[in-house]
Amino acid sequence: MVELRARWDGVVPAPGELADELITRYVERNRRAYRDHYLEIVLAALEPLIQLSTDPASVRLAAWFHRAVHEPGGSPAEDAEASAQLAEQLLPQYGVQPIRVAEVARLVRLTGDLAAPPPDSYAPPRRDANGDVLLDSVNAIMSADPVRYAVHVAEVRRDLGERRSVLEHRYDHVQELLEGHLYRTQLARQRLAPVARVNLETELAGLDSELPAPWRGWQQAALTATATFGAIGAAVAAIAASGASWQIPAIASQPGWPPVALAGFAFFSGPVLFRCARSSSQRAGLIAGVVVAVAVTGLLVAWAQMPRTNPAVGVGLRVPLLIAALLLLLLSGGAALAASLLRTRTARFLPSRNLGQQLAWLAVPGVVALALLLVVQPVARNYVLSSNERVDGPDSVAGKAAPSVLNGAVAWVSKSVRGTGAEEAIGTQYGIAVPRPGGVVEMLDAATGDLRWRYSRSDSDEKPTIVATGDGDYVLAEFADVGYLLLDANTGRRKAAWSGRTRDHLIQQAQPLLTGERSTSGADKLHGVDPNGDQRWTYEPGKCTDLDAVASMDTVVAFLGNCGERTDEMIGLDLKSGKKLWARPTNDTYRRPVAVGGVVVVAEPGGDSDVPEALTAFDPRTGTVKWRWPVPQTWACRTLLNAAGRYLVVVDCPGPSTVENRRTVVTAIDSSTGKTAWQVTAPVGPRAKVTVTSDGRVISLSRSTEACWANVISRRGFRQVRLPLGISCSRDAHAVGNLVLTSGPDSVIALR
pLDDT tens, residue by residue, 87-129:
999 888 888 899 999 999 999 999 988 765 655 444 454 568 9
Helices 318-342 and 218-242, axial angle in degrees (round to 10):
160
Q: How many CB atoms neighbour CB 98 within 10 A? A: 10
**Residue 585 pLDDT class (50, 70, 90 cuts):** confident
User: Is pLDDT at 252 greater than 70 in this prediction?
Assistant: no
**Residue 490 pLDDT class (50, 70, 90 cuts):** very high
**Residue 277 pLDDT class (50, 70, 90 cuts):** confident
pLDDT tens digit sequence for 41-90: 998 899 899 999 999 989 999 998 999 998 887 788 888 999 999 999 98
pLDDT tens digit sequence for 664-693: 999 999 999 999 999 999 999 888 899 999
Pick the more confident residue, 587 or 201: 201
pLDDT value for 295: 94
pLDDT tens digit sequence for 151-208: 888 888 887 766 666 777 777 788 778 777 888 888 998 999 899 989 888 888 777 7
Over range 205-228, report the average pLDDT: 76
Rounded CA gap, 704 and 379, in Å?
57
Asked if the peptide bond before residue 194 counts as cis, ω within 30 degrees of 0, the response is: no
Poorest-pLDDT segment among 211-225, 258-272, 654-668: 211-225
> pLDDT > 70: what percent of the chain?
91
pLDDT tens digit sequence for 331-351: 999 999 988 887 654 444 455
**Residue 352 pLDDT class (50, 70, 90 cuts):** low
User: Which top CATH class is 1-210?
Assistant: mainly alpha
Q: What is the dihedral of CA 516, 517, 520, 521, to 10 degrees?
A: -100
- Would you say 427 and 737 are in contact if contact means Cβ atoms under 8 Å apart? yes
Residue 238: strand, helix, or coil: helix
pLDDT value for 346: 45
Angle of CA points 42, 48, 49, to nearest 5°: 75
Domain assignments of the chain as residue spans, ordered by start: 1-210, 218-387
Residue 584 has φ and ψ, to the nearest 5°, of -145, 140
* Beta strands 734-736 and 739-743, pairing class: antiparallel
Q: What is the dihedral of CA 429, 430, 433, 438, to 10 degrees?
A: -130
**Residue 231 pLDDT class (50, 70, 90 cuts):** very high
Q: What is the dihedral of CA 343, 347, 351, 355, to 10 degrees?
A: -20
* Beta strands 535-539 and 525-529, pairing class: antiparallel
Rounded CA gap, 510 and 497, in Å?
16
Q: How many CB atoms neighbour CB 667 within 10 A? A: 22
User: Is pLDDT at 15 greater than 80 in this prediction?
Assistant: no
- What sign has the CA pseudo-torsion 344, 350, 355, 360? positive
